[in-house]
Amino acid sequence: MFFFRFKLLFTLLFLIVVFGCTDNKPVQNPLTPIPEAPGSGGGANRVMIGDNFFQPQNLNVSRGTTVQWDQRGFVQHTVTNGVVGQPKAGNEFDSGLLNPGQNFRFTFRQAGTVQYFCKIHGSMGMIGTITVR
Ligand SMILES: [Cu+2]
């Protein structure tokens, strides 16, 4: 038993030394801003998709900004412009079904407030807005 524990301790120490000193490449923060088009003014341009919400729910961007939605949920979602039940919903952008890990991008060229929702969970309040200045 003593030797077993000793071996275990040694193994752990070995692993700590080997992996603790490995020069791991920094993992890119999944929510760092994506590169923007010139002249878009900078600022946050990413929205996280969760189950069942958009975070942030309301995002302010300047004209020409490409917004990226990152699907971090466990079930499928969509990013669809408009309001739940509105006939014109999806006429500007509609991601289609996004699986976990996928993303969707749309460039906002006109000033104004754009409402969007998830086609599956919109009626449960999974909605958001992008305000373009
Ligand atoms: Cu959804």
Could you list which residues have their CB under 5 Å from ion ligand 1?
A: 52, 77, 118, 120-121, 126
Q: Is residue 14 predicted with pLDDT exceeding 60?
A: no
Assign 131 to helix, strand or coil. strand
Residue 20, pLDDT > 70, answer: no
Residue, of 126 and 40, whose pLDDT is higher = 126
Whether residue 58 is predicted with pLDDT greater than 60 in this model: the reply is yes
pLDDT higher than 80, residue 33: no
Alpha carbon of 118 to ligand 1 centroid (Å): 5
Look at 5 and 125; give whichever has higher pLDDT. Answer: 125
Query: How far does residue 98's CA lie from ligand 1's centre (Å)?
Result: 9
The H or E element spanning position 67 is strand 65-71
CA distances from 24 to 12, 32, 92 (A): 19, 19, 42
46-57 average pLDDT score: 98
CA-CA distance, 1 to 73, in Å (whole number)?
45
* Residue 45 predicted with pLDDT over 60: yes
| 27 vs 56 pLDDT, higher one | 56
Helix (H) or strand (E) holding 47: strand 46-50
Gap from CA of 124 to ligand 1 centroid (Å)? 9
Lowest-confidence segment of 23-27, 69-73, 120-124 by average pLDDT = 23-27
Tokens of 40: 């878009």
Q: How far apart are CA 98 and CA 74, in angstroms?
A: 10
pTM attached to this predicted model:
0.70
Cα 79 to averaged position of ligand 1 atoms, centre (Å): 8
pLDDT confidence tier of residue 114, bands split at 50, 70 and 90: very high
- What is the CATH class of 41-132? mainly beta
pLDDT at 2 over 70: no
For ligand 1, the distance from its centroid to the CA atom of residue 133, given in whole angstroms, is 27
